[in-house]
């Protein structure tokens, strides 16, 4: 028989492997799924699309994943983990708040817009609603931990007087300005990601 491998099940409780840790073909599937989910959306992407993108037949991905749904979960988890890791590196440095803020913006935007992470990030932002309640709760928890980092920094920026409002709502405005770039940013355009981060920092701070 050939159902999904044992190690792949119960992703909601197990630590669940990051892409770099897991077998190559499984990682290929997650990457292809991520790209297709971003381009066409989860529901409009078929198993045959994903299988074709990695040179498999339509039944074969189910050796690695129990359901299409599990693929989405893997993609979304990869998305939140990558962003968190990238931004946390900058948040831990003890440079002055404003410099740290800019560095965090850079890291976040690179994940959103750069070739490496944008597929996972887009799925995280736009396709999470197709997850079920339990899974959604899991990634919501991760998201909360992530956004707490930003909240902490806003508090610091308020102390130094570089921002007027450090409320939850203000943080969500900031997240919106950042995450919305996915809708309009074009890498072939004139402005680079780092310049964008700088401009956003200037837009928000005073």
Partner DNA sequence: GACAGTCAACCAAGCACTTGCTTGGTGATA
Partner DNA sequence: TATCACCAAGCAAGTGCTTGGTTGACTGTC
DSSP result, 90-153: HHHS-S-HHHHHHHHHHHHHHHHHSTTTHHHHHHHHHSGGGS-HHHHHHHHHHHHHHHHHHHHH
Closer Cβ to a copy of itself, 70 or 127, answer by number: 127
126 binds, among DNA, a copy of itself, none (CB under 5 to 8 A by kind): a copy of itself
Is 196 an interacting residue with respect to a copy of itself (CB under 8 A)?
Answer: yes
Query: Minimal distance in Å, beta carbon 180 to a copy of itself?
Result: 3
Question: In the structure encoding, which two tokens stand for residue 31, read together?
Answer: 């990457």
C-alpha–C-alpha distance, residues 205 and 151, integer Å: 15
191 binds, among a copy of itself, DNA, none (CB under 5 to 8 A by kind): a copy of itself
Measured between its terminal Cα atoms, the distance across the chain in Å is 63
Is 186 an interacting residue with respect to a copy of itself (CB under 8 A)?
Answer: no
Is 183 an interacting residue with respect to a copy of itself (CB under 8 A)?
Answer: yes
Residue 165: phi, psi to the nearest 5? Answer: -130, 120
Is 48 an interacting residue with respect to DNA (CB under 7 A)?
Answer: yes
Q: Which residues bind a copy of itself (CB under 8 A)?
A: 41-44, 126, 129-130, 164-165, 167, 169-170, 172-181, 183-184, 191, 196, 199-200, 202-204, 206
């Amino acid at each position: 028989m050939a159902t999904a491998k044992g190690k792949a099940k119960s992703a909601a409780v197990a630590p669940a492997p990051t892409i770099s840790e897991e077998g190559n073909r499984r990682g290929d599937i997650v990457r292809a799924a991520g790209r297709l989910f971003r381009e066409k959306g989860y529901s409009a992407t078929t198993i045959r699309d994903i299988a074709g993108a990695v040179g498999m037949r339509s039944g074969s991905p189910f050796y690695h994943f129990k359901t299409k749904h599990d693929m989405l979960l893997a993609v979304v988890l990869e998305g939140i983990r990558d962003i968190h890791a990238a931004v946390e590196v900058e948040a831990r440095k003890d440079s002055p708040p404003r410099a740290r803020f800019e560095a965090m913006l850079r890291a976040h935007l690179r994940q959103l817009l750069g070739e490496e992470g944008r597929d996972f990030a887009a799925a995280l932002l736009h396709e999470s609603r197709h997850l079920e309640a339990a899974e959604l709760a899991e990634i919501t928890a991760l998201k909360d931990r992530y956004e707490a980092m930003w909240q902490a920094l806003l508090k610091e920026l308020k102390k130094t007087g570089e921002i007027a409002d450090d409320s939850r709502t203000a943080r969500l405005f900031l997240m919106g300005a950042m995450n919305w770039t996915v809708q309009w940013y074009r890498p072939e355009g004139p402005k680079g990601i780092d310049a964008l981060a700088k401009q956003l920092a200037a837009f928000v701070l005073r």
